[in-house]
Amino acid sequence: MGAPLSGTAWIDRYFTSADGLRLHYRDYPAAEPGRLPVLCLPGLTRNCRDFEGSALRIQGTRRVLSADLRGRGRSQYDPNFLNYHPGTYVGDLARLLADAGVEKVILFGTSLGGILSMLIAAGTPQVPAGVILNDIGPEVAPEGLQRIASYVGRHAPVRNWAEAAAQMRSMYGVAMPDASDADWLAFAQRSYTEVNGVPVLDVDPGVGEAVRAAPAGAAPDLWPLYAALKPVPTLAIRGELSDVLSVATFDRMQREKPDLRRLTVARRGHPPLLDEPECVTAIDGFLAELP
Tell me the C-alpha distance between 284 and 181, whole Å.
28
Tell me the C-alpha distance between 96 and 10, whole Å.
16
Note the pTM of the prediction, 2 decimals: 0.95
The beta strand positions in 183-279, using DSSP E, are 192-195, 198-201, 234-239, 261-265
Q: What is the pLDDT of residue 2?
A: 37
For residues 112 and 148, which has the higher predicted lDDT (pLDDT)?
112
Residues 6 or more apart from 289 whose CB is under 8 A from it?
233
Mean per-residue pLDDT, 147-155: 77
Domain spans of the chain, in order of start: 11-149+221-288
Tell me the C-alpha distance between 204 and 198, whole Å.
16
Mean per-residue pLDDT, 180-206: 94
For residue range 53-71, what is the model confidence (pLDDT) as tens digits?
999 999 999 999 999 999 9
Tell me the C-alpha distance between 79 and 71, whole Å.
9
Tell me the C-alpha distance between 265 and 270, whole Å.
10
Q: What is the pLDDT of residue 7?
A: 57
For residues 215 and 12, which has the higher predicted lDDT (pLDDT)?
12
Asked whether residue 154 carries a pLDDT value surpassing 90, the answer given is no
Tell me the C-alpha distance between 85 and 211, whole Å.
9
The DSSP-derived string for 33-48 is --SPPEEEE--TT--G
For residue range 12-25, what is the model confidence (pLDDT) as tens digits?
999 999 999 999 99
Identify any residues that bridge with 16 across adjacent strands, giving them in sequence order: 22
Phi, psi at 67, each rounded to 5°: -90, 145
98 exposure class (CB count in 10 Å sphere: 0-12, 13-18, 19+): exposed
11-149+221-288 CATH fold: Rossmann fold (3.40.50)
For residue range 72-116, what is the model confidence (pLDDT) as tens digits?
999 999 999 999 999 999 999 999 999 999 999 999 999 999 999
Mean per-residue pLDDT, 132-139: 97
Residue 94 burial (CB count, 10 A): 15
Tell me the C-alpha distance between 131 and 126, whole Å.
13
DSSP summary character for residue 71? T
Q: What is the pLDDT of residue 63?
A: 98
Percent share of the chain, pLDDT over 70: 96
Asked whether residue 145 carries a pLDDT value surpassing 90, the answer given is no
Residues 153/209, Cβ–Cβ less than 8 Å: yes
On average, the pLDDT of the chain sits at 93
Confidence of residue 144 (pLDDT cuts 50, 70, 90): confident
Q: What is the pLDDT of residue 8?
A: 77
Asked whether residue 5 carries a pLDDT value surpassing 70, the answer given is no
Residues 6 or more apart from 236 whose CB is under 8 A from it?
132, 133, 137, 250, 253, 260, 261, 262, 263
